[in-house]
Amino acid sequence: MATVETKPNRGDRRRAATRARLLDAARELFAEKGVGATRLGEITERADVAAGSLYNHFADKDEIVDTLLHEISDGQGAIVDELTADIDDPAAVVAFAHRHFVRLAAADPSFGALAIRLDASHRLMQQTLGPRALRDIDAGVRTGRFKVDDPVAALHFTGGALLGTIAGIVDGRLGADADVFHAESVLRALGVSAAQAAKVARLPMEAGT
């Protein structure tokens, strides 16, 4: 039986626009003040919507955080997929992906603020980025590039390292080369030789990353 597609009506469009304004406002405030210091009233005020209307879209601040982190990490994961599509070396793909997200934390304070909420971020980033990262680790194991006994365990400890590096970026404790040193450490943890890890972690990245 054929399905009938229905176009969004005016109410649907208005609801979607309000939800988008709330998310945009929350992202701005999280970047400016951090997640913990941002109050729901500040989000509705910045979005210029009635205070009670927030609850038509989100149960609480945690749901806003979850939604933003999911959207950002999934969207950026797709960008990394596109930018690395023609790279054959799994080590180079993994290094590129890790450097991309470290640089994103430095360039986009809202992403950094969301990512360091470790209670939610590890779970959500595993959901959105985990399948991609595990795919790349598996490819490295199959080709002999990586030497790990358990790819799933490798996924978790490299993901944890990424979140730790992002926290260092947000706190201002890591410098401009954090992406390179992080990627080099990840590759070495996956069994790549020190010399190769240093070389691959310093390969040029395309413009826009």
- CA–CA separation, 158 and 182 (whole Å): 10
89 and 44 in contact (C-beta within 8 Å)? no
pLDDT digits (tens, 9 = 90+) for 135-171: 999 999 999 999 999 999 999 999 989 989 999 998 8
**What are the residues whose beta carbons fall under 8 Å from the beta carbon of 29, sequence distance 6 or more?**
38, 42, 43, 46
pLDDT digits (tens, 9 = 90+) for 175-206: 899 999 999 999 999 999 999 999 999 999 86
- CA–CA separation, 108 and 5 (whole Å): 37
- Write down all domains in the chain, each with its CATH number in brackets: 10-58 (1.10.10.60), 60-201 (1.10.357.10)
Instruction: Give the burial class of 189: count Cβ atoms within 10 A of its Cβ; 0-12 exposed, 13-18 middle, 19 or more buried.
Output: middle
Going by pLDDT thresholds of 50, 70 and 90, the confidence category of residue 208 is very low
